[in-house]
């Protein structure tokens, strides 16, 4: 904090010196006054035009600051994922977004599922469901629960879990912490001072909820395939 | 007996128009300062970080605050320059007195404040447009992009008044320095204390009566949410500083060689 403050004050002093030098030097610049006037008028015109252009900018592709989504608040906790999966609600509900699908051909009788944690100890929630047939295929679907940051839906920015089948080991790797960079326009100091507090908080998302979601991996295995007891602990067998 | 009766207001107006013409470079210098501020602002004026399971979130904020601060610094600098000997000697080419000289200086500063306030407030819009086109729109949050016309106008008015306040303080300090050069030494000696005070103001752990007084003084202006009361506060404060500068200059000798 102290170092930051010192750096900040040094920068302020440096800017004062720079501005002082600029002022002193522009008075002695050999640009005729006539051209200085034209440049100043041009600058003012650009600023005025930019104000009008701002109203016509398309907001396509910009991220919308959605209101707190009641559906997100109602996302059930992990204890209910079994029931949701058997009811088929993982793929039909708005609470979950399907990220990726895999299908592996597997003819073995035993499968080891390894759930690798991310670099902060977080791991995917794995649901294993046995199919009614022996089709020799392991189908894997990765879902992500809807996630928001200050009311901004970032679900589509979350990368899927990686899944690999190497011999008889199905590895579900949560992956490293994913960096998500966002940019936001903030009201200026003067606007902030006179903007109503509730509107200001809404503009910068202070009164919006933040929900960090979970990654769910749904694995459907052939009827007679057995899961090795050496598999990771946090795996839920549905049937 | 005089053939032509002088009018104080007309004399001041003549001086004001002359100073406006001769000091046009100040408008140009503000333009350069604001262009510099705009380019710096494109890299963001602040950031916030956070995280959750598997996510590291970094939000970069973009606004016109750097242009606003640079304009305030510029206003302070030029208001001290206006009181220097070179500009004071210009007054002797006119039929004038200290009153008309100060009146024309204050008029010049208010004109510069109007120009500075307008351009600083509108710079924010230019920054938003430039950032819109140079950034990856997939990662830009929509809110805050468009301020309503009402708030653009409020931004312009409040920025103008902030600049008037800073100009009045700078003009007063400039007059103080012109009164006696000892004040240059005092101001230079006070700089380390100002830096320490600034550090203490930023530090949440530092508490003292004096620091609280300074904080309350600053909050008196920056936490006022009514535009009308804010302008009254600024006008009264600026009047006090400008009046102080006029009184100080009246104590000075006619001309310094």
Q: What is the ipTM of this complex?
A: 0.85
Q: How far is CA B215 from CA A54, A175, B209, in A?
A: 36, 47, 10
- Min Cα–Cα distance to chain B from A167, Å: 28
CA–CA distances in Å: residue A81 to residues A70, A118, A161, A229, A236: 19, 21, 17, 22, 9
Check: CB of residue B68 under 8 Å from CB of residue B159: yes
Q: At A165, which helix (H) or strand (E)?
A: strand A162-166
B39, B54, B65, B136: which to substitute to probe chain A, counting the most A Cβ within 10 Å?
A: B54
**Cβ separation A26–B55 shorter than 8 A:** no
Does B137 contact A186 at a Cβ distance shorter than 8 Å? Answer: no
User: Residues 162 to 191 of B: which have CB under 8 A from any A CB?
Assistant: 162
Q: What is the pLDDT of residues A71-126, one digit of tens each?
A: 556 666 655 666 676 677 777 777 788 889 999 999 989 999 999 888 777 888 88
Q: Going residue by residue through chain B, which has 257 residues, state the pLDDT in tens, using 9 for 90 and above.
A: 555 666 778 888 888 888 888 888 889 889 989 999 999 898 888 888 877 777 888 888 888 999 999 999 899 988 988 877 666 666 666 666 777 888 889 999 999 999 999 999 999 999 988 988 888 766 777 777 777 888 889 999 999 999 999 999 999 988 888 777 777 766 666 666 666 666 666 555 556 677 778 788 888 998 888 899 999 999 999 999 999 988 887 766 655 54
Nearest CB to A22 within list B32, B76, B139: B32
Token readout for B130 is 């430039």
**Which residue out of A9, A24, A175, A191 would a mutagenesis test of the B interface target, given it has the greatest number of B Cβ atoms within 10 Å?**
A191
Mind telling me how many Å the CA of A20 is from chain B's nearest CA? 6
In this prediction, residue A68 carries a pLDDT of: 45
- DSSP assignment of chain B equals --SS---HHHHHHHHHHHHHHHTHHHHHHHHHHHHHHHHHHTT-SEEEEEEETTEEEEEEEE-SHHHHHHHHHHHHHHHHHTTSHHHHHHGGGSS--HHHHHHHHHHHHHHHHHHHHHHHHHHHHHHHHHHHHHS-GGGEE-TTS---HHHHHHHHHHHHHHHHHHHHHHHHHHHHHHH-THHHHHHHHHHHHHHHHHHHHH-TT---HHHHHHHHHHHHHHT---HHHHHHHHHHHHHHHHHHHHHHHHTS-S---
Distance between CA atoms of residues B44 and B130, nearest Å: 12
B26 — contact with chain A (CB < 8 Å)? yes
3-state secondary structure of A134: coil
Among B45, B58, B122, the residue with its CB nearest the CB of A181 is B58
Using a CB–CB cutoff of 8 Å, tell me whether A38 touches chain B: no
- Percentage above 70 pLDDT, chain A: 71
């Amino acid at each position: 904090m102290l170092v930051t403050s010192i750096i900040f004050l040094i920068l302020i002093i440096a800017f004062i010196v720079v501005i002082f030098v600029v002022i002193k030097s522009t008075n002695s610049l050999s640009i005729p006054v006539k051209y200085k006037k034209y440049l100043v008028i041009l600058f003012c015109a650009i600023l005025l035009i930019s104000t009008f252009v701002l109203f016509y900018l398309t907001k396509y592709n910009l991220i919308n600051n959605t209101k707190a989504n009641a559906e997100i608040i109602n996302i059930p906790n992990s204890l209910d994922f079994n029931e949701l999966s058997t009811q088929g609600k993982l793929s039909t509900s708005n609470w979950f977004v399907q990220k990726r699908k895999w299908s592996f051909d597997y003819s073995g009788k035993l499968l080891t599922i390894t759930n690798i944690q991310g670099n902060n100890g977080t791991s995917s929630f794995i649901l294993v469901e046995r199919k009614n047939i022996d089709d020799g295929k392991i189908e894997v679907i990765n879902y992500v629960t809807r996630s928001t940051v200050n009311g901004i839906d970032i679900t589509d920015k979350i990368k899927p879990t990686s899944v690999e089948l190497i011999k008889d080991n199905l590895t579900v790797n949560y992956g490293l912490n994913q960096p998500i960079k966002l940019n936001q326009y903030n009201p200026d100091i003067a606007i902030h001072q006179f903007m109503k507090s509730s509107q200001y908080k809404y503009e910068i998302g202070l009164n919006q909820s933040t929900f960090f979601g979970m990654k769910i991996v749904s694995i459907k295995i052939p009827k007679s395939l057995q899961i090795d007891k050496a598999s990771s602990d946090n795996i839920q067998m549905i049937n | 007996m005089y053939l032509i009766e002088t009018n104080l207001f007309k004399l001041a107006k003549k001086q004001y128009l002359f100073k406006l013409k001769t000091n046009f470079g100040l408008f140009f210098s503000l333009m350069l300062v604001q262009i510099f501020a705009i380019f710096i602002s494109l890299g963001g004026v602040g950031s916030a970080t956070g995280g959750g399971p598997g996510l590291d979130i970094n939000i970069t904020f973009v606004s016109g605050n750097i242009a606003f601060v640079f304009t305030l610094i510029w206003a302070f600098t030029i208001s001290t320059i206006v009181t220097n000997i070179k500009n004071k000697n210009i007054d002797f080419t006119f039929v004038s007195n200290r009153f008309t000289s100060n009146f024309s200086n204050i008029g010049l500063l208010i004109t510069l404040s109007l120009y500075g306030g307008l351009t600083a407030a509108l710079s924010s819009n230019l920054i938003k447009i430039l950032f819109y086109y140079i950034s990856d729109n997939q990662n830009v949050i929509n809110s805050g992009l468009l301020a309503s016309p009402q708030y653009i106008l409020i931004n312009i008015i409040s920025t103008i008044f902030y600049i008037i306040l800073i100009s009045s303080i700078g003009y007063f300090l400039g007059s103080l320095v012109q009164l006696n050069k000892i004040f240059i030494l005092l101001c230079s000696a006070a700089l380390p204390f100002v830096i320490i005070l600034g550090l203490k103001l930023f530090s949440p752990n530092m508490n003292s009566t004096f620091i609280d007084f300074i904080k309350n003084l600053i909050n008196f202006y920056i936490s006022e949410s009514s535009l009308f009361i804010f302008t009254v506060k600024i006008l009264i404060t600026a009047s006090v500083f400008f009046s102080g500068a006029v009184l100080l200059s009246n104590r000075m000798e006619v001309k310094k060689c």
